[in-house]
């Protein structure tokens, strides 16, 4: 059990240290806190990519609807 985990547990149980304690916890174990931050960033990036994909799908659907509508208008005009 790392001292960092110990500190986290005490924080979760309601104990709030001052900013110095939190800073020292990060300094003591930069590898643990660093890897956690990276994981969070990766998750956020994945979520953003999913959102972008959804937006692209929506745009494609809108374009298809528009082309269908314009095609109908052109057919009417030709008649």
What are the tokens at 8? 């986290």
Note down the domain range covering 42: 3-78
**pLDDT tens by residue, 6-55:** 555 555 555 555 555 555 555 555 565 666 777 777 777 777 777 777 88
How many domains are there within the chain? 1
Any residues with CB less than 8 A from the CB of 21 and at least 6 apart, and which? 7
pLDDT of residue 73: 79
pLDDT confidence bin for 1, thresholds 50/70/90 = very low
The C-alpha angle 49, 62, 47, rounded to 5 degrees, equals: 10
With beta carbons less than 8 A apart as the criterion, state whether 32 and 4 touch.
yes
- Helical H segments across 1-79, by residue range: 3-12, 19-28, 30-78
């Amino acid at each position: 059990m790392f001292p960092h985990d110990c500190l986290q547990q005490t924080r979760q149980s309601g104990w709030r240290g001052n900013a110095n304690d939190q800073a020292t916890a990060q300094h003591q174990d930069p590898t643990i806190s660093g890897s956690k931050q990276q994981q969070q960033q990766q998750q956020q990036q994945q979520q953003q990519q999913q959102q972008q994909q959804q937006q692209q799908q929506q745009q494609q659907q809108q374009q298809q609807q528009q082309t269908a509508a314009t095609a109908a208008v052109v057919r009417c005009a030709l008649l």
